[in-house]
Amino acid sequence: MKIIINLLKLLKPDYINYDLETFDFNVLKKLKITNIFIDLDNTIVSRYEFDVSKYTINKFNKLENEGFKFYIISNNSKPNRVNKISSLLNIEATYLSLKPLTWTIGRIIKNNSLNKDSCIIIGDQLFTDILTGKLLNISTMLVKPLSIEKNYFRRKMIELERNIIKLVVANV
């Protein structure tokens, strides 16, 4: 059991259970973290929403003007959905990213010569978003999902992830 907990500790996000709506990005700026890889479904918009609110558009525009650079890294397989939200937010996006495989973000880091210390991945899932960040050795932030998952398999996976987080936090 102890070995398992020690292994799971490797998955502990640097920031846990933040609400992206109210998160103060100055916290990251102070740490010189300005390159933000961000998940789409249930992180920026609910998986069941097909539009982005004016509030969200303004928020991302403002953060980009303040010097943050966002990259949407989505595992969603539908280019129409990902591209629509990408253009509304004016943020470049990759669909079918196959997180936790690291090649999409790894390629962006390499092509733009980004310093890994300036990078963070933000998302609502442990075994895709956070694991990708851990494998790349960049900062990680697990946020509260924006909607309750309707898909049975994904819902069970999220329950498992949340239980792991509780276990990890209790044993750190």
Residues interacting with Mg ion, by CB under 5 A? 39, 41-42, 124
Cβ-based nearer residue to Mg ion, 42 or 139: 42
Smallest distance from the beta carbon of 117 to Mg ion, in angstroms?
25
Cβ-based nearer residue to Mg ion, 42 or 97: 42
Question: SS3 of 119, please?
Answer: strand
Please choose, from the candidates 3, 14, 1, the residue with its C-alpha nearest in 3D space to the C-alpha of residue 169.
14
Cβ-based nearer residue to Mg ion, 34 or 74: 74
* CA separation for the pair 111, 158 (Å, rounded): 33
DSSP letter, residue 130: I
Please choose, from the candidates 69, 60, 40, the residue with its C-alpha nearest in 3D space to the C-alpha of residue 129.
40
Cβ-based nearer residue to Mg ion, 39 or 161: 39
Smallest distance from the beta carbon of 108 to Mg ion, in angstroms?
18
Smallest distance from the beta carbon of 68 to Mg ion, in angstroms?
20
* The residue type at 94: T
Smallest distance from the beta carbon of 146 to Mg ion, in angstroms?
9
* Structure-block tokens of residue 53: 């609110």
Smallest distance from the beta carbon of 155 to Mg ion, in angstroms?
13
79 to each of 93, 125, 164, how far by Cα in Å?
10, 21, 32
What are the residues facing 41 on neighbouring strands? Answer: 45
Cβ-based nearer residue to Mg ion, 132 or 139: 132
